[in-house]
Chains A and B, each alone.
Chain A
């Protein structure tokens, strides 16, 4: 079992839908991340939050909108996605940003139809 919890596990959405992915950790970690992973590829960084502030945005399209309501929660709001956005979306946390191991959640498998 992972200490980083992601919901939902699976999500199918149309290109006009609005949905949100949720992530929660209770390890007291101060950094949280969103990664996108396509099949047979490594995880690709999207966003980093450090102490609840967005510190890195890897030129992600605006149809992906992150939110960090508090130190334990991280959301990813999705709107007007494209079929090529279908992927495994991974949330991760670490004690401090970019200096400690990442702990990944189980991921959300997203399919855009």
Chain B
């Protein structure tokens, strides 16, 4: 099992819909979780971070964390074409002592 797993997609949603991106991780002791957005040819940009179980909202973005099930998700409401990018999930694992990135999910928002 990989340390951090994401569905690579591509995920396509129509403009205005909710995009749901999921990530699972292997280390039950992990405490810190991050979502990054990366446009093609650009560097990753921090979207959200979450440390506690439950939901955390920031504008159109909601991060959800369930430590018992070892998954973290990102919801994007009212999706816009400008949201089209690769979304990377990152977890600080207690084993290995570093940030582990998932392989990313490619999202396309169709106008």
Q: A-side interface residues toward B, CB under 8 Å?
A: 2, 41-43, 45, 48, 56, 58, 88, 90, 98-99, 101-107, 109
Contact = CB atoms under 8 A, between A and B. Distances in A.
B45 interface: yes
B90 A102 contact: yes
Contact of A105 (B36, B43, B88): B43
Contacts of B98: 45, 48, 56, 58, 98
Contacts of A99: 32, 92
17 contacts: A2-B43, A42-B88, A42-B103, A43-B44, A43-B101, A56-B97, A58-B98, A88-B43, A98-B98, A101-B34, A102-B34, A103-B46, A104-B43, A104-B44, A104-B45, A104-B46, A106-B43
Interface residues of B, number: 20
- Tell me the dominant secondary structure on chain B's binding face: strand
B61 interface: no
Please list the 3 inter-chain residue pairs (A to B) with the smallest Cβ-Cβ separation, ordered nearest first.
A42-B101, A104-B43, A107-B43
A53 to B, nearest CB: 15
A57 B19 CA distance: 37
B33 to A, nearest CB: 10
B65 to A, nearest CB: 15
Contacts of B43: 2, 88, 90, 104-107
Chain B CB within 10 A, most for which of A41, A56, A99, A102: A102
B36 to A, nearest CB: 8
Contacts of B49: 101
A34 B43 CA distance: 13
